[in-house]
């Protein structure tokens, strides 16, 4: 099968979040399974400056953008068998500091940047000698492509275009902008309706993708059902409900090549489910590195997260204030909301032997936190998939999660009887429920069920191989429907 993916970021070339990791992980696994995968992504300044082995592709585009004609070049790289990446080289749009924004805020021309990107992807899909069977599109930045494909098929003679699948990574980010940008699509205003791209008088990129794509997927089964409700639908629940027969959730996978405990340069002591000695040694190494009291027997909790309301960290602050921090330890690694950062830093000042806060991101520290903590806390208000709970399972750090999205799909709760499970869950986004769940963790810690839970989690398999097979099956079915 020939799969052409479009993404606004791609690990290891450009990244702001999990989207970059997901597309890379899925693409590598599909390529390994024998599918021909090609990816289209912008040539950002960071890529231009850091990737030395790009090759010019004999292809120039001159595409309309409203009344203008914009030219772009294409560069390629071939990182492995069955995988090719096309970088869209349009310096005025992409040769900037930052992918979508700077510290001063988002680029005001982001709608036009990704209208152009969508046109470039559509152009390649139509005119390359290599004709894709499937267009796999990710998030709002490429969500106009299904409409462009449908318009060119219906009105401009594109025969047998590929089937389209839009994957929603986070419904909260929709690409809503002023309707004046619609001129730059060069599409008829017939599409600017409540049944098309119009959204309360504005353009909604993600809505367009939901309406016009052949299939809509998201990144966990639970999230696929949650987004049909007003609580999680972000204003698009009615549109998504209309697509319920062509909507599914496929869980993201984990790159165990990086996130492992047996061949990992980021942790000082290797370990496994068969030999946990290195786990306690990593715990003490983490305590020393953070300046905390070194004690292998104290229950140690960790969180790695964006400091944002979505992540439920305001609940965690209230909970930590309720618990006896002198009888436990806590570490947070993350960046984001300044007010949340200040509240966590105040805790560290009050309990310097028991609480450590690192504002920023440190790859090595992230691995050591997973390897050195006993419990990993994710109290998210919503979580489309989540990855840190999956890393934590493999690292033997028992996840404490809210039962939402991918967190609910992947963590099996240890009930009060101590029946087998992989973590602890709470239902409602309330500090009182998180507090009780962390108290459950403290009661679990000195028992034999703690190690039992650790080992059960470490044996779980959430590799990309399984997720890629699910996508391949979906794409095969779409191709068959497209031939009818």
pLDDT, tens only, 261-312: 999 999 999 999 999 999 999 999 999 999 999 999 999 999 999 898 899 9
Q: Provide the angle, in degrees to the nearest 10, between the axes of the packed helices 205-212 and 145-155.
A: 50
Number of alpha carbons in the 13 Å side-chain half-sphere of residue 16:
11
DSSP state of 162: P
User: Do 282 and 313 form a contact (C-beta atoms < 8 A)?
Assistant: no
2-253+465-482 and 277-461: same fold?
yes
Confidence at residue 105, expressed as pLDDT on a 0 to 100 scale: 83
Confidence at residue 484, expressed as pLDDT on a 0 to 100 scale: 55
The CA distances from residue 425 to 310, 415, 437, 442, in Å, are: 17, 9, 7, 14
Strand-pair category, 55-65 with 68-80: antiparallel
As a whole number, the mean pLDDT across the chain is: 95
CATH classification of 277-461, choosing from 3.40.47.10, 3.40.50.2000, 3.90.580.10, 3.40.30.10? 3.40.50.2000
pLDDT 10s digits, 331-374: 999 998 999 999 999 999 999 999 999 999 898 999 999 999 99
Q: What is the pTM (predicted TM-score) of this model?
A: 0.93
Q: Provide mean pLDDT across the span 302-329.
A: 95
Strand-pair category, 198-199 with 202-204: antiparallel
Q: How many residues does the chain have?
A: 484
Residue 127 pLDDT greater than 70, yes or no: yes
Beta strands, E only, 237-388: 247-249, 300-304, 329-334, 355-359, 375-378
Query: For the purposes of burial, counting CB atoms within 10 Å of the CB of 166, is it exposed (0-12), middle (13-18) or buried (19 or more)?
Result: buried
As a whole number of angstroms, the distance between CA 186 and CA 65 comes to 7
The share of the chain scoring above pLDDT 90, in percent, equals 92
As a whole number of angstroms, the distance between CA 309 and CA 414 comes to 27
**CATH number of this structure's domain 2-253+465-482:** 3.40.50.2000
pLDDT band at 183 (very low <50, low <70, confident <90, very high): very high
Confidence at residue 293, expressed as pLDDT on a 0 to 100 scale: 96
User: b/e string for 17-35 if b means 16 or more Cβ within 10 A?
Assistant: ebbbbbbbbbbbbbbbeeb
3-state secondary structure of 432: helix
Beta strands, E only, 12-127: 36-42, 55-65, 68-80, 83-89, 101-102, 105-106
Residue 225 pLDDT greater than 80, yes or no: yes
Residue spans of the domains in the chain: they are 2-253+465-482, 277-461
């Amino acid at each position: 099968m020939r799969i052409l993916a479009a993404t606004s970021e791609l690990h290891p070339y450009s990244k702001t979040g999990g989207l970059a990791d997901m597309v890379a992980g899925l693409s590598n696994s599909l390529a390994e399974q024998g599918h021909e995968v090609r990816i289209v992504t912008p040539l950002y300044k960071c890529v231009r400056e850091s990737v030395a082995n790009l090759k010019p592709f004999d292809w120039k585009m001159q595409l309309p953008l409203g009344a203008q004609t914009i030219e772009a070049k294409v560069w390629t790289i071939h990182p492995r068998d069955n995988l090719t990446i096309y970088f869209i080289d349009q310096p005025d749009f992409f040769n900037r500091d930052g992918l979508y924004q700077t510290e001063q805020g988002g680029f005001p021309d982001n709608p036009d940047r990704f209208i152009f990107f969508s046109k470039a992807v559509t152009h390649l899909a139509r005119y390359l000698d290599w004709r894709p069977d499937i267009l796999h599109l990710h998030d709002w930045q490429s969500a106009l492509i299904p409409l462009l494909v449908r318009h060119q098929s219906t009105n401009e003679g594109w025969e047998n275009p590929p089937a389209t699948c839009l994957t929603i990574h986070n419904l909260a980010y929709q690409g809503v902008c002023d309707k004046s940008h619609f001129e730059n699509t060069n599409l008829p205003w017939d599409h600017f309706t409540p049944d098309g791209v119009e959204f309360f008088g504005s353009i909604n990129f993600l809505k367009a993708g939901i309406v016009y794509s052949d299939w809509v997927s998201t990144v966990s089964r639970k999230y696929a059902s949650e987004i049909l409700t007003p609580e999680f639908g972000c204003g698009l629940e009615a549109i998504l409900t209309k697509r319920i027969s062509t909507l599914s959730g496929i869980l993201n996978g984990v790159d165990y090549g990086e996130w492992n405990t047996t061949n990992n340069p980021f942790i000082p002591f290797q370990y496994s489910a068969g030999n946990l000695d290195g786990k306690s040694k990593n715990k003490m190494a983490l305590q020393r590195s953070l300046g905390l009291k070194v004690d292998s027997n104290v229950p140690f909790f960790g969180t790695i997260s964006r400091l944002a309301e979505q992540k439920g960290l305001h609940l965690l602050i209230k909970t930590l204030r309720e618990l006896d921090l002198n009888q436990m330890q806590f570490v947070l690694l993350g960046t984001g909301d300044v007010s949340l950062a200040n509240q966590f830093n105040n805790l560290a000042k009050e309990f310097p032997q028991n609480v450590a806060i690192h504002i920023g991101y440190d790859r090595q520290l992230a691995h050591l936190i997973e390897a050195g903590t006993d419990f990993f806390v994710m109290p998210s208000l919503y979580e489309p998939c989540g990855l840190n709970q999956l890393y934590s399972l493999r690292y033997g750090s028992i996840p404490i999660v809210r039962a939402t999205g991918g967190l609910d799909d992947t963590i099996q709760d240890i009930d009060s009887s101590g029946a087998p499970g992989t973590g602890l869950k709470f239902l409602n986004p309330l500090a009182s429920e998180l507090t009780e769940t962390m108290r459950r963790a403290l009661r679990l810690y000195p028992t034999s069920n703690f190690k039992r839970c650790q080992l059960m989690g470490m044996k779980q398999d959430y590799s990309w191989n399984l997720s890629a097979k699910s996508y391949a099956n979906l794409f095969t079915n779409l191709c068959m429907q497209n031939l009818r």
